[in-house]
Chain A
Amino acid sequence: MAAHAHAESIEDSVYFQYETLEQQQETYILGMWAFLLTEIMMFGALFLAYTVYRFQYQRDFFIFHEQLDWKLGGLNTVVLLSSSFSMALAVHYHQIKKKAATLWCLAFTNLCAFGFLAIKSIEYGEKFKHHLFPNDSFVWDAALHGGNPEHARIFFSLYFVMTGLHGIHVLIGILVITTLMVLIAKNHRLITDYIPTEMVGLYWHFVDLVWIFLYPLYYLIPK
């Protein structure tokens, strides 16, 4: 058990309000889970709004979703799943105190995050080019594609809000992972064990979770 191996070196990092290291670590992780539940509240409301309109305008949503590139979306899914895997590996290596491997895994996670945003920006660029961003310049050619233009506006509003909010989370993830990498690399005194990596990992897996649902709901709408 790892706890025996580094018990004496880590004993002094138990803060005074905790009885044991285990209690302290569980408190940190529980706090992270509580934060993630608030994130579910935020995204959950959007998923609910999506469901209301999808339920009402299923036919139209099928027509609109053909404007989204399921191949790029699928590529992004693979990229995010890979980043989640490397993030889990980073936690694994940090637990067994392999600093270099931890940093490499975090770097790969960050690389995937950048890749995700790059692909997403290509998709967004296409939508802007085709006047599908729901602002004043929004144009939906109902004669060409079919579907109700007003419902198209609803669909693309939901699409941009939900994937945009998710994209902001990816962006924040990049900042947090980069900060973590710097702290680990500098042997900063905040990093006494693997818990900071675990907490960043929990956040990153949550971002992955949201995309796991966004992908089929937007890119793979059945007829």
Chain B
Amino acid sequence: MSTNTDTQDHGAHAHHVTPIGKLAATFGFLLFMMALTVVAARLPLDMPDTFGWLSPYFFVTNAIALGIAIAKAVAVVRIFMGAKYASKLIKLYAIGGFIWFTQLFIMFFDYGTRNWEEVRGWEKVPSSSLPRNRDSDAGIPYPVYPGSHAGSEMSGTSEASGEAGSGH
């Protein structure tokens, strides 16, 4: 179904004209994957035990949702954005974008190895130009919410907030 515009392949980075058929097929793929991700996310809600043996359940569903999203992203970058037909330098940039994005998540080494520190909600602190945790500390309890992890231990105390979670 493609026209005869897809004629050159020898030039490393001369402008490649992506045939309409290829673009349409990519579009179809994207729509199909979009439908698939909705089905994958919505269907098991009524039968949460269906995938119970693939534990933990939400890890699997998240992996499916993100896997589909990544597949769609790769299709867009390769075909629509033309990275597949581009020079090696541009490919490097495209891949670099993915690598950079995943590198951000190295931060989870920090989050994963320390305690979650519950801090006072900002809306409970009177607005002031003074630095927080100094003048405004006196008499303002940490908020206590049902189900919060550390609220009861921390309320009313004047521990320095930076160290509050590390003792427990």
Instruction: From the candidates A41, A70, A205, A216, name the one contacting B81 in the complex (CB within 8 A).
Output: A205
B41 contacts the other chain (CB 8 A): yes
Nearest-CB distance from A152 to chain B (Å)? 11
* A216/B66 in contact, CB under 8 A: yes
Within 8 A of A (CB), among B97-147: 97, 100-101, 104-105, 107-108, 111, 116, 121, 143, 145-147
Q: How far is the CA of A88 from the CA of B83 in the complex (A)?
A: 13
* B57/A223 in contact, CB under 8 A: yes
Nearest-CB distance from B98 to chain A (Å)? 9
Chain B: CB-nearest residue to A134: B123
Instruction: From the candidates A33, A150, A213, A223, name the one contacting B143 in the complex (CB within 8 A).
Output: A150
Which B residues are in CB contact (< 8 Å) with A206? 81
Which B residues are in CB contact (< 8 Å) with A77? 34
* A58/B100 in contact, CB under 8 A: no
B18 contacts the other chain (CB 8 A): yes
Nearest-CB distance from A175 to chain B (Å)? 21
Which B residues are in CB contact (< 8 Å) with A47? 101, 104
Stretch at the interface among A11-19, A22-30, A158-166, A178-186: A22-30
* B57/A48 in contact, CB under 8 A: no
Q: Is the interface of B mostly helix, strand, loop or mixed?
A: helix
Within 8 A of B (CB), among A86-105: 87-89, 91-92, 95-96
How many interface residues does A have (CB within 8 Å)? 59
Nearest-CB distance from B25 to chain A (Å)? 11
* A74/B72 in contact, CB under 8 A: no
| A148-B101 in contact given A56-B116, A74-B38, A92-B17 (Cβ < 8 Å) | no
Q: How far is the CA of A48 from the CA of B125 in the complex (A)?
A: 26
Mask: chain A, 65-95; 1 = CB below 8 Å from B; 0 = not: 0000010001001100110110111011001
Q: How far is the CA of A176 from the CA of B73 in the complex (A)?
A: 23
Q: How far is the CA of A29 from the CA of B69 in the complex (A)?
A: 25
| A88-B8 in contact given A30-B90, A40-B100, A70-B38 (Cβ < 8 Å) | no
* B97/A2 in contact, CB under 8 A: no
Chain B: CB-nearest residue to A73: B38
| A92-B41 in contact given A3-B15, A36-B97, A48-B107 (Cβ < 8 Å) | no
A192 contacts the other chain (CB 8 A): no
Q: How far is the CA of A142 from the CA of B81 in the complex (A)?
A: 45
A202 contacts the other chain (CB 8 A): yes
* B65/A222 in contact, CB under 8 A: yes
Which B residues are in CB contact (< 8 Å) with A194? 15
Q: How far is the CA of A87 from the CA of B11 in the complex (A)?
A: 24
| A96-B17 in contact given A30-B93, A44-B100, A220-B65 (Cβ < 8 Å) | yes
Give the 5 A-B CB pairs with smallest separation, nearest first: A222-B61, A220-B41, A33-B93, A85-B27, A216-B65
Binding site for B on A (CB under 8 A): 1-3, 22, 25-26, 29-30, 33-34, 36-37, 40-41, 44-45, 47-48, 51-52, 55-56, 58, 70, 74, 77-78, 81-82, 84-85, 87-89, 91-92, 95-96, 142, 148-150, 194, 198, 201-202, 205-206, 208-209, 212-213, 215-217, 220-223
Binding site for A on B (CB under 8 A): 5, 7-8, 11, 13-15, 17-20, 23-24, 26-27, 30-31, 34, 37-38, 41-42, 44-45, 48, 57-58, 61-62, 65-66, 68-69, 72-73, 76-77, 79-82, 86-87, 89-90, 93-94, 96-97, 100-101, 104-105, 107-108, 111, 116, 121, 143, 145-148
Instruction: Write 7 A-B pairs (CB below 8 A) sorted by A numbering.
Output: A1-B7, A2-B17, A47-B104, A48-B107, A70-B38, A148-B147, A213-B73
